[in-house]
Chain A
Amino acid sequence: MAPTIRVRAQASGDATNVQALIQHPMDSGFVKDSKGVLIPPHYIETLTFEHAGKVVLEAFWGPAVSKDPYIKFGFKGGAKGDDLKVTWVDNLGKTDTLTAKIA
C-alpha cells in the first residue's frame, strides 16, 4: 500500500507542532453509491502519535470524520531530530504507520 500518512512536525521552543494528512476513504456506512447500494463502513478507529516511547496523542475517530482527514496539534517536549511515530488502525483491521523526524 502506498504511504497514506503525510506528517510535518516542527520543534518550537519546548513544544512540537504537528500536522498530519491521512489518506483514507472514511466511509461512514450510511452513504449509498450511484446504484443505491450501501457503501460498507470503512473508517479509522484509532490514530496514535508516539514520541520517545510515550503516546503523545491518541485519537478515537469514527464514521463522523470525513475522507482524507487532517489533524493539527501541539505537544510539550520533542526536539529537532527526534522520531515521531504515527499509526492508524481502522474498523476492518487495516493499519499503516510512518516514522518522521521532527524538524
Chain B
Amino acid sequence: MKSTPILLAALLTVAGITSWVMDEGHAAASANSTTPEQDMQAFQRYFKQRFPNVKFPDFANGPYAVNAEMRKQWEEIMQFPPYDFAVDEGKTAFETPFKNGKTYGDCFPNKGIGVRQTFPYFDTKTGEVVTLDLAINRCRAENGEKPLPYQTGVMASLTAYMSQTSRGKPFDIKIPDDPRARAAYEAGKQYFYSRHGQLNFSCASCHVTASGQRLRGDILAPALGILASFPIYRSDWGSMGTIDRRFTSCSAQMRAEPLPPQDPTYRDLEYFLSYMSNGVPIAGPGTRP
C-alpha cells in the first residue's frame, strides 16, 4: 500500500523527535507536586537564564526580544502600526451602547478600562476560566445582544482597544483557593507540555525547547510573555487575530484537529500561560510576521 512507507517514516520521525527532545537538559521529575507559584518561578528563571540579554518586560515582544534583525523591522512597522484601524474600530464599538442603553463598561471593573491584565480569571460561580473574549460575549448576552464570532473581526477590535488601555500593566492572574481553579491550571499546564497532532509537537517543543530558533522563516517566541501582545495583526493573516485564532492555527500546524474557539481546553491553556507570565506587562495589541 503506497501510504504505508510514509506512515512508517512519520512514526520513525516521531520516535526520533521524541528521543531528541527528551535528551534536552530539562531536569525531570515523575510525580508533579509543585505549586503554581513554584512553576511560575521556575518558568521565568528558565527563560531569564536562556535569554540573559532580554530585559524582563521585553518578553512581551516575543520574537523581537530575541532577534535583532526582526526587531529592526518591527520598529519600522511600529511607526505606523497595522492594528491602528482595529483599535479605532474597537474604541467605537466599546463606546457604542447596546440596544438597552447599557455599555461594555457596565460589565467590567473600572468601566473596562485598564483591566485586560487580569484576564483570564477563574469564575468560582460558574466553575470555569473566563477569558476577555468570553467575558465580552457574556456581557453581550446579559444585555440582550447576539454573541460576536471569536477569533477576528469586531471581537479582535474590542480586545485590541481594551488591551491598549492596559499597556504597561503587568499580568496579574490569580488562582483562587478552589480545587476547580487549581484543576483548570493543571489542565492548562498538562496541555502545554503534551504532544499532539501528527507532527507530535507540544507547545513546549517550539516555545520552550526551540524558542529563539527558526521554524521555517519565523523566529519562535519564548513562551514567557507570549500572550502579552494579543490580539495581533499578523501579516500572514492580513488581519487581526485573537489568542484563540492563534491556538486553533497552532493546533492545525501540528496537524492536530483544532478545537472550537474558547473550548475549555484552550481557556485552561490561556490560564496557565498567562499565570506563567505574571509580571510581564501587557503590550497589546501587537504586530507579528
Partner-B contacts on A (CB < 8 A): 2, 6, 8, 19-21, 23, 66-68, 70
Q: A19-B80, A21-B80 are in contact. Are A67 and B85 (CB under 8 A)?
A: no
Instruction: Give Cα A20–Cα B80 distance, bound, in whole angstroms.
Output: 8
B79 interfacial contact with A, CB 8 Å:
yes
Contact between B80 and A70, CB atoms less than 8 A apart: yes
Q: Which of B79, B80, B238, B239 has the most CB of A within 10 A?
A: B80
Apart from A8-B79, A67-B238: 8 A-B pairs, beta carbons within 8 A: A6-B80, A20-B80, A21-B80, A21-B84, A67-B239, A68-B82, A68-B238, A70-B80
A6 cross-chain contacts in B, Cβ below 8 A: 80, 84
Binary contact readout B72-116 vs A (1 if CB under 8 angstroms, 0 otherwise):
000000011010110010000000000000000000000000000
CB distance from B272 to the nearest CB of A (A): 32
A4 nearest in chain B by CB position: B85
Residues of B within 8 A of A21 (CB): 80, 82, 84
User: Which of A8, A19, A23 sits near B85, CB closer than 8 Å?
Assistant: A23
B193 shortest CB reach to chain A, Å: 34
List residues of B (32-48) whose CB comes within 8 Å of A's CBs: none
Q: Identify which of A2, A19, A23, A66 contacts B79 (C-beta below 8 A).
A: A19
Can you list 20 A-B contacts with CB-CB less than 8 angstroms, sorted by A residue number? Answer: A2-B88, A6-B80, A6-B84, A8-B79, A8-B80, A19-B79, A19-B80, A20-B80, A21-B80, A21-B82, A21-B84, A23-B85, A66-B238, A67-B238, A67-B239, A68-B82, A68-B85, A68-B238, A70-B80, A70-B82
Q: How far is the CA of A21 from the CA of B87 in the complex (A)?
A: 14
Q: Which size bracket describes the interface of B in this complex? A: under 10
The chain A residue sitting closest to B92, CB to CB, is A2
- Contact partners of B80 in chain A: CB under 8 A: 6, 8, 19-21, 70
Nearest B residue (CB) for A23: B85
Q: How many A-B residue pairs have CB under 8 A?
A: 20
Chain A interface, >50% SS class? strand
CB-nearest residue of chain B relative to A20?
A: B80
How many whole Å from B126's CB to the nearest CB in chain A? 32
A40 to B263 alpha-carbon distance, docked (Å): 35
- Determine how close the nearest CB of chain B comes to the CB of A82; give it in whole angstroms: 21
A20 to B84, CA, bound (A): 12
Task: Please measure, in the bound complex, the distance between the C-alpha atom of A23 and the C-alpha atom of B239, giving whole angstroms.
Answer: 12
Set of chain B residues within 8 Å of A66, measured between Cβ atoms: 238
Please give, as numbers and ranges, the residues of chain A lying within 8 Å of B88 by CB-CB distance: 2
A63–B80 Cα gap in the complex (Å)? 22
- Measured CB to CB, the closest approach of chain A to B26, in angstroms, equals 41
In Å, the complex CA distance between A6 and B80 comes to 9
CA–CA, A8 and B78, complex, Å: 13
- Shortest B165–chain A CB gap in Å is 21
> Chain B residues with Cβ under 8 A from A23's Cβ?
85
Q: What residues of B have a CB within 8 angstroms of the CB of A70 in the complex? A: 80, 82
Least CB distance, B151 to chain A, in whole angstroms: 13
Expressed in whole angstroms, the Cα–Cα distance for A2 and B84 within the complex equals: 13
Q: Nearest chain A CB to B93's CB is how many angstroms away?
A: 13
Q: Which residue of A lies closest to B239 (CB)?
A: A67
A25 to B, closest residue via Cβ: B238
Q: In chain B, what residue has the closest Cβ to A21?
A: B80
How far is B85's CA from A70's CA once the two chains are assembled, in angstroms?
Answer: 13
Alpha-carbon separation in the docked complex, A50 to B242 (Å): 39
Residues of B265-288 whose CB lies within 8 A of A: none
Contacts of B84 in A (CB 8 A): 6, 21
**How far apart sit A8 and B85, CA to CA, in the bound complex (Å)?**
16
